[in-house]
Structure 1
Amino acid sequence: MTTDNLNNKATSEQEIIEIVAKQHDYFKSGATKSYQSRSDNLQKLKAALIKYETEMHVALKQDLGKPEFESYLSETGFTLHDLSTTLSKLKSWMKPKWRMTALLTQPGSSRIYYSPLGVNLIIAPYNYPVMLTFAPLIAAMAAGNTAVIKTSEMTPACSAIIRKIISETFAPEYIAYIQGEVNETTILLQQKFEHIFFTGSPRVGSIVMSAAAKNLTPVTLELGGKSPCIVHDDAKLDIAVNRIVSSKFLNAAQTCVAPDYVLVHKSLKETFLNKIKARIIKVYGKDASTSPDFARIVSDNHFQRICGLIDQKKVIVGGQSNAATRYIAPTVMRDVTLADKVMSDEIFGPVLPVLEYETLDEVYNIVDQLPHHPLACYLFSESKAVQQEIINTIQSGGACINNCIFHAGNHHLPFGGVGESGMGAYHGFDGFECFSHKKGVLKSASWMDNPLTYAPYGNKINLLRKFLK
């Protein structure tokens, strides 16, 4: 396999144009479409990911300070499980799916055929650089496509190992890695793709969508939003606290589906605050900077931005930081209101604001006033009526009841946003569908000819009304 682009030199505009053109030609050759081709290439990717697992963990530690357990749980292990699931289901996913045939179009049969889209652009973010590069790539490959990959310049060690894996495993006319930063991404967005898959912020998502519109290119946008976590008055509080702390501070809260803020019922607020403070100290110690289980912020700019959201007068635990190591302690703020800066946008860092409520109407009002539809909504409650009401009332990309973020780890559920938190969904079969065109095919019988729709029409309209009523 080629080892092009294994240096740190940015990919030139001419190289990008040539790569995209070669991928179009390669796709038209039909080389990517058969089950055997898809399966063989997914197996090659799996072998490469296993081979370089340790190097990926080292890179994740270097770029984000990720503990090995978190790296395996949410990056390499997740990706390998995704690959295994895809390989085990691929043959059945590719089979045409039967649909009913309308009376007017009888005699005949109807099927949906899944055909690959073509050449795809996948733009990955910095927070889960391995998983959020390879998860959409696996779906694109399973659907029979080619793909161009662009990772974040903020995670250089991870980008280097991803580039190495792709360059050693695949020819660039099939899967290509583009080296570079914003300029190279801009050039990529000017090219003609059949689909663009972007994971990142709503701000950049709007730029991607605008660029894609010039070529009428469909997009999948996996964005963010302020995801609420509601702790109702009947919640099992110890379980709620354990799961909130675990999900919020995973990867130093640089997780798009992390609970962004907690809405706790007024009757439980003080107990909840005491328990969450104690839990954080138990999990990470009194000084989390010495914990081997707590990650770091990806860049100086993000470090400064997150620190600027902390109101020390409202901090009940945490609040410490170290610019030299980009460390921000797991922090909880109490008595937060919508006027606080921390509620102005998605936090994407280890700061957890806590607000109180008495009625569910107050919850809905708070959620509605915040920018962006939430990517996720979390509820801790034992009441089935409350559970159903929250799911039906709060519009969010996904949700968990009595847990946080784990819906994103279920390959059998679609994962995606709604409104400003994104469009389109993937994971498992939904990922296969995301990178496929669902082609409706009607096969009409030739053993008879139905003259109903043929001219001259005469008084056939009365019979037609019976078919179409």
Structure 2
Amino acid sequence: MSAEQAEDLVEQRVGEVVDRLRATHRRGVTKPLAWRHAQLDALAALLLEQRDTLYAALKADLGKSADESLVTEVGLLQREVAHTRRRLRGWLRPSPAVVPLPVQPGTAATVLEPLGVTLIIAPWNYPLLLALSPLIGAIAAGDAAVVKPSELAPATSRTIADLLPRYLDARAFAVVQGDAETTSALLEQRFDLVFYTGGEHVARIVMRAAAEHLTPVVLELGGKCPVYVDESADLDVAADRIAWGKWMNAGQTCVAPDHVLATRRTAEALAPRLAAAARRMFGDDPLRNDAYCRIVSERHFDRLHGLLDPAKTASGGGADRPALRIEPTVLTRVGDADPVMQQEVFGPILPIVEVASEREAIERVADGPKPLALYVFTRRSSRRAWTTGTSSGSIGFGVPLLQLAVPGIPFGGVGASGMGAYHGRRSLTAFSHEKALLTKPTRPDTVRLLSPPFTELKRRVLARFTG
């Protein structure tokens, strides 16, 4: 079979999947609230009953311990399913709107309706969480969905493909595995929403493909997430929290601290504390610690290894290519021209960049690409300056990452770090269309006041209504 024939076969296969799901959605299978509740319950059962299987897959792909898999993937999904299940009925109630005088008597409201057939493209760094968390929103909204797991996390991809059809309604949900060719074939199809999590380069491809069908997109991207620490912070606590946020999943987290901004005095005090925090978490030999994750592939390992600079290494720096592990590493005296500052690190290397003042740090963040997350360890009186003087997907004052655990606030980027948001109720709205409803009785027929001929009486009435 030629390459062209193979490509045609892949496109035909995914086209058949999408057509099948669209037929299901058109029949109204996914719309009843009872069906949505049943699917959420089934997903909750999958996460509970197959926990060990999921842990094994994450271990195979990223070297994640069961504890880290629970904290960062399975546990987050369980809480999100429960949160959505409890509140979905209330979220779906019509939302009334005020009707202006010229439209009275009448009533207005908005209702959330399913978008239709959606595509979820998941990344490799949290291959379970970032495949199933958007799916919760699709289920809640009453959509059908195709889930495309990352081929760079093959064990998790296979596990998702095996388990989802056993628990969820296979008429409405499908898992399509494959490489970039398969993703391209999927993007050739017409979807009603494409939800993509990953890097900026592929996001541009997704947007171009979606534009062909005028399909809306949600893009959850990344970028360099800065941390500012000043002299007023409790440096021991700050170091522990930054270390936890940075070296979880070996730094392969889109909202992980990418680099630290601090004055020279603070930087010199913080660097050894970060090293001590790494030792507390992973011991003196993190390369042999089962609680420490590995890098996902040789290609990513080689990229990260090229960012190490022995002359600027304050701690860590060791690496084991066969094991795909790089020690938690702190770099100091880092400048903008250094390779580690020319790209998103997305690994266990933490550069510290010296700034002259907090004002310089704010200006630096404000002048750069808008980050997905910004973290600030400073006095309470400075928080307003950071909130109003910078733009980012989120700000964590005093802690990184934990914004992900709050379902009542949106998770999403701005500018190059993404568009659209989800989590909690916003996952429902991301996968829904908010439809406007207006009801006006035929008597009294006040619409005549808005139509010719415009008498003096009508003009006086309209002046009163619009004045």
- The alignment's TM-score, normalised by the length of structure 2, stands at 0.95
Distance 1:468 1:176 in 2: 53
CA-to-aligned-CA distance 1:385-434 (integer Å, 9 cap, x gap): 31111011111011111000100111111100000000000000010010
Contact 1:85 1:428 in 2 (8 A): yes
Counterpart for residue 457 of structure 1:
454
Contact 1:38 1:144 in 2 (8 A): yes
Counterpart for residue 357 of structure 2:
359
- Structure 1 segment 256-405 matched on structure 2, within 5 A: 256-368=254-366, 370=368, 372-383=369-380, 385-405=381-401
Distance 1:141 1:11 in 2: 29
Distance 1:465 1:435 in 2: 42
Distance 2:464 2:291 in 1: 68
Structure 2 SS opposite 1:437: strand
CA-to-aligned-CA distance 1:430-450 (integer Å, 9 cap, x gap): 100100101111222344221
Contact 1:11 1:184 in 2 (8 A): no
Counterpart for residue 426 of structure 2:
430
Higher mean alpha-carbon deviation, 252-261 vs 169-178, is at 169-178
Superposition deviation, residue 265 in structure 1? 2.9
Contact 2:39 2:169 in 1 (8 A): no
Structure 1 SS opposite 2:464: helix
CA-to-aligned-CA distance 1:140-193 (integer Å, 9 cap, x gap): 000100000101110000001110111222344300011211111001001000
Higher mean alpha-carbon deviation, 231-240 vs 76-85, is at 231-240
Counterpart for residue 4 of structure 2:
none
- For structure 1, the 5+ residue unaligned runs are 1-9
Counterpart for residue 178 of structure 2:
180
Counterpart for residue 15 of structure 2:
17
CA-to-aligned-CA distance 1:107-152 (integer Å, 9 cap, x gap): 1122110001000000000000111011000110001000001011
Distance 2:101 2:422 in 1: 34
Distance 1:308 1:404 in 2: 26
Counterpart for residue 192 of structure 1:
190
Aligned sequence identity (%) = 38
- The alignment's TM-score, normalised by the length of structure 1, stands at 0.95
**Equivalent AA in structure 2 for residue 72 of structure 1:** L
Answer yes or no: is 1:443 the counterpart of 2:443: no
- Structure 1 segment 65-144 matched on structure 2, within 5 A: 65-144=63-142
Contact 1:62 1:157 in 2 (8 A): yes
Distance 1:267 1:89 in 2: 49
Distance 1:414 1:103 in 2: 35
**Equivalent AA in structure 1 for residue 70 of structure 2:** Y
- For structure 2, the 5+ residue unaligned runs are 1-7
Contact 2:10 2:185 in 1 (8 A): no
Contact 1:76 1:131 in 2 (8 A): yes
2:53 maps to which of 52, 55, 78: 55
Contact 2:73 2:129 in 1 (8 A): yes
CA-to-aligned-CA distance 1:259-310 (integer Å, 9 cap, x gap): 1000123332211112112221222122111223210000111000111111
Contact 1:310 1:319 in 2 (8 A): yes
Number of equivalent positions: 459
**Equivalent AA in structure 2 for residue 196 of structure 1:** V
Structure 2 SS opposite 1:234: coil
Contact 1:241 1:276 in 2 (8 A): yes
